Amino acid sequence: MSIEQIEINTTEYLVTLQDGSNVQTLEITEGVQLDVLLSEMGLQGPAGPEGTSIDSIVKTSTVGLVDTYTITFSDSSTQTFTVTNGANGTNGTNGRGIVSVTRTSGTGAAGTTDTYTITYTDSTTSTFTVYNGANGTGSVSSVGLSVPTGLTVSNSPITTSGTIAVTYTAGYSIPTTAKQSNWDTAYGWGNHASAGYLTAAAIGSSVQAYSSNLTNWAAITTSSKVDSSSGSVSGLTLNDGYTEEVFSISGTTPALSPSNGSIQTWTLTANSTPTAGAWNSGQSITIMIDDGSACTVNWASMSITWKTNAGVAPTLNTTGYTMIILSKVGSVIYGARVGDA
């Protein structure tokens, strides 16, 4: 069914409907909406064209300040529009930085004002002032100090102004780190009172005194077996024996001397020529020589009088020690090999 015609008659509408060969005429008074009436009657007009939607909007070109955008619709048709962009503005003036900030007047004293000058990169300047705070005034109500045993404090407490002094109590001191370490070490040795240390009272009574220059015995009553002037001893009986000092000789031209020890060992590293060191008549040494790698000893510089081996210097053993005794009697040093092993 479709609308054939609509006639307006003052406040009424006369609508003629065509439905095939049937014709209907509706009279519509003013105030009734035609589309509502037709909808209620189940009537519908012819379908309109198919609509379209936007798929995308894309900027597709730029010329100068003008951008062109393309709209693509759902039916693949397109449409363009342009947008003109604003031009760049003019550059602003150059900025400036700070080169320095310098106090140009004032001393910084408390309670005074100083002036500082700022110098900029464009050589212009500006100033600002700073007030320096004045020193405060006042006093404490009470300040005191307590100290441990060994220290004494004076002028404490202070109720207005003053100085608190700390001093050592009589009989006390503070040791250095080094002295404290020495004391700790000595303390670790145990009870010194029971250690049997030599006391000053024993010197010259139960213990032989010695002169201050360490060359003569001090004048005290001595045993008849001790010569107080020379320190020599005679007629002693050694019940438990004695220990001789053993000295190791080194080098190829050593000075052999009894003061180094009564027993001396020498391992040769090359052919060697010893010399006579300090000898006194009555002194002797026992030398035990290892020939090393078949090394020899030339005794000529010592002028030894050999009393074994037919009066010539002994040949050294190729393995182990060769034992030789050297003794000085008067001005002569005598030598003898001990055994033949």
Average pLDDT, the chain: 82
In terms of domains, do 281 and 212 share one? no
In terms of domains, do 259 and 333 share one? yes
Rounded percentage of the chain residues whose pLDDT exceeds 90: 44
Mean pLDDT of 155-183: 89
In terms of domains, do 258 and 331 share one? yes
Q: Is residue 67 part of a domain?
A: no
Tally the domains of the chain.
5
In terms of domains, do 270 and 194 share one? no
* CA quadruple 45, 50, 56, 61: dihedral sign: negative
Q: Is residue 333 part of a domain?
A: yes
Mean pLDDT of 11-27: 56
Angle at the Cα of 172 from the Cα atoms of 170 and 177, rounded to 5 degrees: 155
Instruction: Measure CA 18 to chain center.
Output: 108
In terms of domains, do 165 and 218 share one? no
CB neighbours of 278 closer than 8 A, spacing ≥ 6? 257, 258, 259
Q: Is residue 104 part of a domain?
A: yes
Phi, psi of 177 (to 5 degrees): -60, -40
Q: What is the pTM of this model?
A: 0.37
Q: Which of 26-30, 111-115, 266-270, 279-283 has the lowest mean pLDDT?
A: 26-30
In terms of domains, do 253 and 312 share one? yes
Beta bridge pairs of residue 119: 100, 125
The C-alpha atoms of residue 178 and residue 70 are separated, in whole angstroms, by 94
In terms of domains, do 196 and 273 share one? no
In terms of domains, do 288 and 330 share one? yes
Q: Is residue 30 part of a domain?
A: yes
In terms of domains, do 256 and 219 share one? no
pLDDT tens, residue by residue, 99-108: 999 999 999 8
In terms of domains, do 274 and 327 share one? yes
pLDDT tens, residue by residue, 285-330: 999 999 988 999 999 999 999 999 899 999 999 999 999 999 999 9
In terms of domains, do 220 and 144 share one? no
Domain that holds residue 305: 246-337
